[in-house]
Amino acid sequence: MNHPAHVHFFKNFIWEMEKRGHEFFISSRDKEIALHLLESYGFKYFNRGAGYSGLLGKGLGMLEMDAKLYRVAKKFNPDLFLGLHNTYIAHLGKLLRKPSITFTDTEHARLASLLTMPFTDAICTPSCFTKDFGKKHVRYNGYHELAYLHPNYFTPDPTVFDDLEISKNEPFFIVRFVSWGASHDVGEKGISLAGKRKLVDLLSDHGKVYITSEENLPKEFEQFRLPVPPERIHDLLAYANLYFGESPTMTTESSVLGTPAICVNSWACRCGNFIDLKKHMLLNCFHPSEFPAAITCVEELLSRVNLKGVWNKRRENLLKGKIDVTGWMIEYIQDYLERSVYS
């Protein structure tokens, strides 16, 4: 697990496969709330430590992590390695002569792909993924976020309003800032400090504003810090009147939950899942240079009558054409094991 979203992506799959007699060894990067989520869901894990910053640091860190994870993986002796755009599992698979399966939905992660895809045995992506990895490429008709937010696995819990201490009829908005420290974020950017101020001021005129931030939150925004445990974020996104942020993952999560979503990010708009969700009119994406247009979009959405009702209808139409991704993962990986490992 390299990111908190990876915990969500794999959790239902792990629980179901454990019921079928499979055993897992989970390693995780100490990033943001990833370890907290693993603990809150009752998973045992190996903490591989925090990541490194800068390309040189990440390069040296990769060698160190390969060595550290090689030792624990050799002891566990797995039949199969699984990861989400995870360089280490691809390398370990080759070193230990065991197959590895890589999931990804991020076309922009060019460096990670260069270091991962030549070494992995299968690459699973949403069908809307815009790149082609050749014979190893397997596509499914869904998004990563439908591994944990599909109605088969997730129903929003209204008791989250008690945590917020607001009524169910009181409008509120979720805002997300990121740290821009990932390898695919090098040279990229999001919302300026002035833009963040303008956004928060605008939303505050229409309801409660709650900010979740990967980076250190400026003191002026501290009063807006999200006051609930991170494992309840999807309950909030489901009930929120609008989401606005820099995070592609949280933008997609909001969209598949039927919440109007706006993303300001210099690379996300080109991703296949964003292109697909825009066709379903569930999200809007802007380059940072288009921030004024993003603010205009917020104003237009807030002026609409029955905004959530319209978006929930669009969500229903979306889900009719998408699959239960966890269910697909279970079938695909069990079949893969039977064909490639146990045969």
Residue 155 resides in a domain: no
Residues 230, 327 within the same domain: no
CATH of the domain at 212: 3.40.50.2000
Residues 287, 210 within the same domain: yes
> How many angstroms separate the CA atoms of 67 and 90, rounded?
13
Residue 74 resides in a domain: yes
Give, for all 343 residues of the chain, the pLDDT tens digit: 988 999 999 999 999 999 999 999 999 998 888 999 999 999 999 998 876 666 666 666 778 888 889 999 999 999 999 999 999 999 999 999 999 999 999 998 888 899 999 999 999 999 999 999 999 999 999 999 999 999 999 999 999 999 898 999 999 999 999 875 454 444 556 799 999 999 999 999 999 999 999 888 889 999 999 999 989 999 999 999 999 999 999 999 999 999 999 999 988 899 999 999 999 999 999 999 999 999 999 999 999 999 999 999 999 999 999 999 999 999 999 999 999 888 7
| pTM, to two decimals | 0.92
Residue 314 resides in a domain: yes
| Residue 223 one-letter amino acid | Q
Note the pLDDT of residue 65.
84
Is the four-CA dihedral 200, 280, 161, 177 of positive or negative sign?
negative
Going across the sheet that includes 242-245, the strands are: 208-213, 172-177, 242-245, 261-264, 283-286
Residue 99 resides in a domain: yes
> How many angstroms separate the CA atoms of 245 and 59, rounded?
29
**Token pair of 294 as six digits:** 């993003």
Note the pLDDT of residue 128.
97
- Looking at the 3D structure of the chain, how many domains does it have? 2
Q: How is residue 216 annotated by DSSP?
A: P
Q: Which of 21, 173, 35, 17 is nearest to 82 (CA)?
A: 17
Residues 135, 190 within the same domain: no
| Residue 221 one-letter amino acid | F
Residues 101, 212 within the same domain: no
The 3-state DSSP composition of the chain as helix, strand, coil percent (nearest 5) reads: 50, 15, 35
Note the pLDDT of residue 74.
95
Range of the domain at 314: 160-320
Residues 72, 187 within the same domain: no
For the chain, what is the radius of gyration of the CA atoms? 20
Residue 62 resides in a domain: yes
Residue 55 resides in a domain: yes
What Cα–Cα distance (Å) separates residue 71 from each residue in 49, 88, 119, 126, 266? 15, 12, 19, 33, 38
Residues 20, 165 within the same domain: no
Note the pLDDT of residue 184.
46
Residues 6 or more apart from 84 whose CB is under 8 A from it? 1, 2, 3, 6, 9, 10, 102, 103, 104, 144
Residues 172, 206 within the same domain: yes
What Cα–Cα distance (Å) separates residue 209 from each residue in 1, 5, 236? 30, 23, 12
Residues 113, 234 within the same domain: no
Residues 296, 249 within the same domain: yes
Residues 37, 64 within the same domain: yes
Residues 226, 172 within the same domain: yes
Q: Which of 137, 89, 85 is nearest to 111 (CA)?
A: 85
Residues 130, 181 within the same domain: no
Residue 203 resides in a domain: yes
Residue 94 resides in a domain: yes
